[in-house]
Structure 1
Amino acid sequence: MTNITLDIHRFPCLNDNYGFLVHEHFSGETAAIDTPDAEKYLAEAKRMGWHITHILNTHWHPDHAGGNLKIKEATDCIIYGPAGEAEKIPGIDVHLSGGDTVEFGRATARVLDVPGHTLGHIAYHFAEQNTAFVGDALFALGCGRVFEGTMEMMWNSLSKLKALPPETTLYCAHEYTQANARFAETIETGNADLAAYIKDIDARRAKGQPTVPTRLEKELATNPFLRADNPELQSAMGHPGDAVATFAEIRSRKDSF
Structure 2
Amino acid sequence: MEIFTIPCLNDNYSYILYDEANNTACVVDPSEANPIIDFIEKKAFNLKYILNTHHHYDHVGGNEELKKKFNSQIIGFEGDKDRIPQIDIKLNDHEIWSAGNFKAKIFHIPGHTSGHICYYFEKENCLFTGDTLFSLGCGRIFEGTYEQMFNSLNIIKKLPLETLIYCGHEYTLKNSEFCLKHDPTNNDLKEKIIKIKKLRSEGKPTIPTTLEDEIATNIFLRAKDIENFSKLRDLKDNF
Same fold (TM over 0.5): yes
Shift of 1:42: 1.0
Return 13-22 or 99-108, whichever deviates more.
99-108
Question: For residue 163 of structure 2, what is the amino acid of its counterpart?
Answer: T
Q: Does 2:219 match 1:254?
A: no
Shift of 1:27: 2.2
1:102 corresponds to which residue? Answer: 97
- If each structure's helix is expressed as a fraction of its own residues, which one has the higher value? 1
Q: How high is the sequence identity, in percent, across the aligned residues?
A: 42
User: What is the CA–CA distance in structure 1 between the aligned matches of 2:5 and 2:21, rounded to whole Å?
Assistant: 20
1:68 corresponds to which residue? Answer: 63
Question: For residue 120 of structure 1, what is the amino acid of its counterpart?
Answer: G
Structure 2, unpaired ranges of 5+: none
Secondary structure of 1:153's counterpart equals helix
Question: For residue 169 of structure 1, what is the amino acid of its counterpart?
Answer: L
Q: Does 2:239 match 1:244?
A: no
Question: For residue 122 of structure 2, what is the amino acid of its counterpart?
Answer: A
2:77 corresponds to which residue? Answer: 82
Secondary structure of 1:171's counterpart equals strand
Secondary structure of 1:87's counterpart equals coil
Contact 1:14 1:37 in 2 (8 A): yes
Q: Does 2:122 match 1:140?
A: no
User: What is the CA–CA distance in structure 2 between the aligned matches of 1:104 and 1:209, rounded to whole Å?
Assistant: 31
Question: For residue 151 of structure 1, what is the amino acid of its counterpart?
Answer: Y
User: What is the CA–CA distance in structure 1 between the aligned matches of 2:56 and 2:24, rounded to whole Å?
Assistant: 25
Secondary structure of 1:159's counterpart equals helix
User: What is the CA–CA distance in structure 1 between the aligned matches of 2:202 and 2:21, rounded to whole Å?
Assistant: 35
Which among 5, 9, 13 is matched to residue 18 of structure 1?
13
User: What is the CA–CA distance in structure 2 between the aligned matches of 1:104 and 1:252, rounded to whole Å?
Assistant: 41
Question: For residue 226 of structure 2, what is the amino acid of its counterpart?
Answer: V
Q: TM-score, normalised by structure 2?
A: 0.98
User: What is the CA–CA distance in structure 1 between the aligned matches of 2:49 and 2:8, rounded to whole Å?
Assistant: 19
Which among 165, 183, 187 is matched to residue 188 of structure 1?
183
Structure 1, unpaired ranges of 5+: 1-5, 230-242
Contact 1:29 1:104 in 2 (8 A): no
Secondary structure of 2:227's counterpart equals helix
1:122 corresponds to which residue? Answer: 117
User: What is the CA–CA distance in structure 2 between the aligned matches of 1:188 and 1:62, rounded to whole Å?
Assistant: 33
Q: TM-score, normalised by structure 1?
A: 0.91
Shift of 1:107: 3.1
Question: For residue 87 of structure 1, what is the amino acid of its counterpart?
Answer: D
Shift of 1:29: 1.9
Which among 34, 37, 46 is matched to residue 32 of structure 2?
37
Return 198-207 or 141-150, whichever deviates more.
198-207
Contact 1:28 1:105 in 2 (8 A): no
Return 76-85 or 146-155, whichever deviates more.
76-85
Secondary structure of 1:89's counterpart equals coil
Secondary structure of 1:252's counterpart equals helix
Residue-by-residue CA offset, 1:172-223 (whole Å, 9 max, x unaligned): 0100000000110011111110010011111111221110111110000000
| Count of aligned pairs | 239
1:234 corresponds to which residue? Answer: none
Shift of 1:249: 0.6
Question: For residue 66 of structure 2, what is the amino acid of its counterpart?
Answer: I
User: What is the CA–CA distance in structure 2 between the aligned matches of 1:143 and 1:219, rounded to whole Å?
Assistant: 11
Question: For residue 212 of structure 1, what is the amino acid of its counterpart?
Answer: I
2:42 corresponds to which residue? Answer: 47
User: What is the CA–CA distance in structure 1 between the aligned matches of 2:169 and 2:60, rounded to whole Å?
Assistant: 14
Secondary structure of 2:82's counterpart equals helix
1:240 corresponds to which residue? Answer: none
